[in-house]
Amino acid sequence: MTLEVADDVTLPPGVCLRWRERRGSYRVAGEVENVSRLTVDPIDRVRAKRFVVREHYSGTFPAERVSVGLFRGIRLVGVAVFAEPAQRRTIPRWAPGARLGVILSRFVLLDELAANAETWFLARAFRALRRELAGVGAVVSYSDPVLRRSSDGSLVLPGHVGTIYQGFNGRYLGRSGAETETIAPDGTIVDRRGLSKVRNGERSDAHVVDRLVALGAPGPRPFEDPRAYIARALEDGPFRRVRHPGKHVYAWSLDGSTLAVAQSPTPKRRSE
């Protein structure tokens, strides 16, 4: 049974976030999936990206290092993506003892999977990561507690506090820094790294411009300076700026390396 979430609802303990065609919902704690029907294997980037872009609210795919698929028979029903950190200081900040660390950047299960499938898959995804990426010492992941809606009021992201990470013995490290996010009409976040690519004229910046235009921003003018274009696109496009209090941060040491000091108490509600 999936559970839709309203702004004023306090979530029951143990609910698990699910996705279907970029819409989030929850499975209720206590449900039991027949895991004998499930298998877990590494998958290639093309297949992982197709699944994540189709199902996850962000509609984007990160700088992948390892992708792991959850299968029911031959059908792909979940994907975990371990990715490069967006910023170099991320791993040293949260896992200072790790020589090599990755971000669990996407963890996407379809809404047909019962609650217990989540931890089952996460444990096996970590095992696959250690086999596929030699020397990985730490995994960091973020959970976004802020409920997000599209401009027409549709629920896009229910918000979550990392219950699955707590259940999988992730060390709670507090919040990432507060920041101002640019939100598109469909409720997704306009990626700051992508905007920087355009400003700096980096490779693969064309798809960033295409996405801005698809979201309703004006296109670039002939010979327009990239920095001027980004400023104009954000100003004239249908975007809104929202102050975010920071995401909850969790980490795991895979080789006994040092993590940042644990914080307490761990969050239990979206408002915390």
pLDDT for position 6 = 42
Burial 119-144 (b: 16+ CB within 10 A, else e): ebbbebbbebbeeeeeebbbbbbbbb
Cα distance between residue 153 and residue 160, in whole Å: 19
Task: For residue 24, give the nearest of 156, 139, 145, 125 by alpha carbon.
Answer: 156
Residue segments in the chain with a per-residue pLDDT below the cut of 70: 1-14, 203-204, 269-272
Q: Which residue type is seen at 49?
A: K
Q: Which token pair is 125?
A: 């995804």
pLDDT for position 41 = 97
pLDDT for position 14 = 62
pLDDT for position 37 = 93
Cα distance between residue 174 and residue 246, in whole Å: 9
Task: For residue 82, give the nearest of 51, 107, 60, 99 by alpha carbon.
Answer: 107
Cα distance between residue 56 and residue 70, in whole Å: 15
Helix (H, G, I), strand (E, B) or coil at 122: helix
Residue 25 CB coordination number (10 Å): 18
pLDDT for position 181 = 87
